[in-house]
Amino acid sequence: MTQPQRQLIRMTEELERTTRVNYLFDFYHSLLTEKQRAYVELYYLEDYSFSEIADTLKVTRQAVYDNLKRTKDLLEDYEANLGLYGAFIKRQQYYRQIREYIKNQDFNKIDAVINELETLEEE
Rounded CA-CA distance 56/48 in Å is 10
What residue segments make up the domains of the chain, in order of their start? 3-82, 85-122
Closest to 75 measured CA to CA, from 49, 41, 123, 121: 41
Classify residue 47 as exposed, middle or buried by CB count within 10 Å of its CB (0-12, 13-18, 19+).
exposed
* Whole-number Å distance between alpha carbons of 53 and 48: 6
**Other beta carbons less than 10 A from residue 44's beta carbon:** 19
Q: Phi and psi of 47, rounded to 5°? A: 65, 35
What pLDDT does residue 4 have? Answer: 87
pLDDT tens per residue, the chain (123 residues)? 898 888 989 999 999 999 999 999 999 999 999 999 999 999 999 999 999 999 999 999 999 999 999 999 999 999 999 999 999 999 899 889 888 888 888 777 888 888 888 887 776
pLDDT reported for residue 107: 76
pTM greater than 0.85: no
Output the CATH code of domain 3-82.
1.10.10.10
